[in-house]
Amino acid sequence: MPRNPLVSDTASQHPEANVRDYVIITLTYWVFTLTDGALRMLVLLYLHDLGYAPLEIASLFLFYEFFGVVTNFLGGWVGARFGLKSTLFSGLSLQLLALGMLALKADSLNVPYVMVAQAFSGIAKDLTKMSSKSYIKLVVPEHDRHGLMRWVAILTGSKNTLKGIGFFLGGLLLGLVGFQWGCIAMAAGIAIVLLLSYVLLPKAAGRSKAKITLRSLIPPPGPIRWLSATRLFLFGARDVWFVLALPIFLGSVLGWDFHETGGFLALWIIGYGFVQASAPAFVGAKRGDARREPPNARRLGLWTALLVLPLGGILTAFHFGAPPEATLMVGLAVFGIVFAANSAIHSYLIVAYAEGDKVAMRVGFYYMANAMGRLVGTLLSGAVFQAAGEGEAGLLACIAVSIGFVVVSALLCIPLSAAERHEASRLSAA
């Protein structure tokens, strides 16, 4: 029977070990994600209380995004060379370092110092994410495409839900114990899961048997390259209006205070995570029985194109003078549902496409494109918003750019689909 191109040959054949490893990976990722979301909100609120302007605070996270590009590229090599346990351990250790730095200087923080701490935290996030998602490829039983889709969706969706909860946790810690002890409490949680993962996870999981060169970090022409390109434009489309233009508009035009804005975005991310986790129930094509086929590149193109509807709807509603708050609430709800479905399909496809003993490198390259999209989106969000005159004009200009990015991402799914079919034919003939 021909080998399915979307299935790993290297998944463990020991179900009990698979489940145990998956639980440890998920628990580790959950704790890290809670601290990551809480730390971002903790820094935002604390520096805002110290009198920093919103644009100054937003600039603190540029290092966070920039180092994500570098980390994902090189982290994939480290994972393939030394095993995923090494990259997971390194990510958790760097988060400990970032939290320790901020706790140590809590009474005398300045922008350069926080930027360095955020750089370490950004590296930690991407090492941990790349390691966790790559591990799933190794623990899902061979040929179980439905299981792979389900497990990836649960890990990814729960991550985003917990990130939103982390926003609330950051504000809670700041109010209850203060900035310094909040950082110390989160560091203790990271230390516990670091020890747990180091002791219990297999040492060499994900290590490539082949010699790893710098050239091998870039995947050959095929589905992974095209999927990475679509991911870059997809996340650029989100961040070009969501990261900076939207929260500033909510505060400066609609008059929301910082806590209302942060709480609303946290709720949006929590809902986004729930949709993402449930994506296997509706993103795939229907079969004759009650199950759905896991999605492919063509399905991804359709879901990506659907993002034009909520974005175009927001522009149209503003043009005809609809109430801004109601327009954004409805538009963001629809956008969040469709975007979460897209993200779930992406997360499944990259793990499915990646070759077993090169999964770390392939996932690392892919998330490098993701980080590049976030970085470009963040930079454009500030630049376009300011160039268009800020306020409503700035927000609408950013949404217009977002639509352009969505169209490019959808069009890139055409060569992705062709590459997917070619790869399936090649492997079937092998």
Tell me the per-residue pLDDT of 293-342, one tens digit each, with 9 for 90 and over. 778 899 999 999 999 999 999 999 999 999 999 999 999 999 999 999 99
What is the pTM for the complete model shown?
Answer: 0.77
279 or 9, which is more confident?
279
Check pLDDT > 70 for residue 357: no
Percentage, residues of the chain above pLDDT 90: 24
Pairwise CA distance, residues 415 & 312, whole Å: 25
- Delineate the domains of the chain, giving CATH numbers in brackets: 15-205+215-429 (1.20.1250.20)
First to last CA, the chain: 11
Q: Which residues contact 22 (CB under 8 A, 6 or more apart)?
A: 135, 136, 139, 151
Tokens of 271: 């809902």
Percentage, residues of the chain above pLDDT 70: 81
Pairwise CA distance, residues 377 & 383, whole Å: 10
pLDDT of residue 399: 96
| Per-residue pLDDT reduced to its tens digit, 215-264 | 666 777 788 999 999 999 999 999 999 877 888 888 788 888 767 777 78
Q: For residue 290, how many other CB atoms are within 10 A of its CB?
A: 6
pLDDT of residue 396: 94
Residue recorded with tokens 């909520």: 310
Degrees to nearest 5, angle at CA 31 with 29 and 37: 95
pLDDT band at 414 (very low <50, low <70, confident <90, very high): very high
264 half-sphere exposure, CB direction, 13 A CA radius: 17
pLDDT of residue 300: 94
Check pLDDT > 90 for residue 402: yes
pLDDT of residue 29: 83
Stretch 175-184: mean pLDDT = 88
Judge whether 117 and 98 are in contact, CB under 8 Å: yes
206 or 341, which is more confident?
341
Give CA separation, 352 vs 13, 25, 251, in Å. 17, 18, 41
pLDDT of residue 296: 87
pLDDT band at 391 (very low <50, low <70, confident <90, very high): confident
Stretch 119-146: mean pLDDT = 75
pLDDT of residue 263: 78
Helix, strand, coil percentages (3-state) for the chain, rounded to 5, are 80, 0, 20
Pairwise CA distance, residues 144 & 133, whole Å: 16
Tokens of 364: 């690392």
pLDDT of residue 190: 92
Pairwise CA distance, residues 20 & 47, whole Å: 40
pLDDT of residue 96: 93
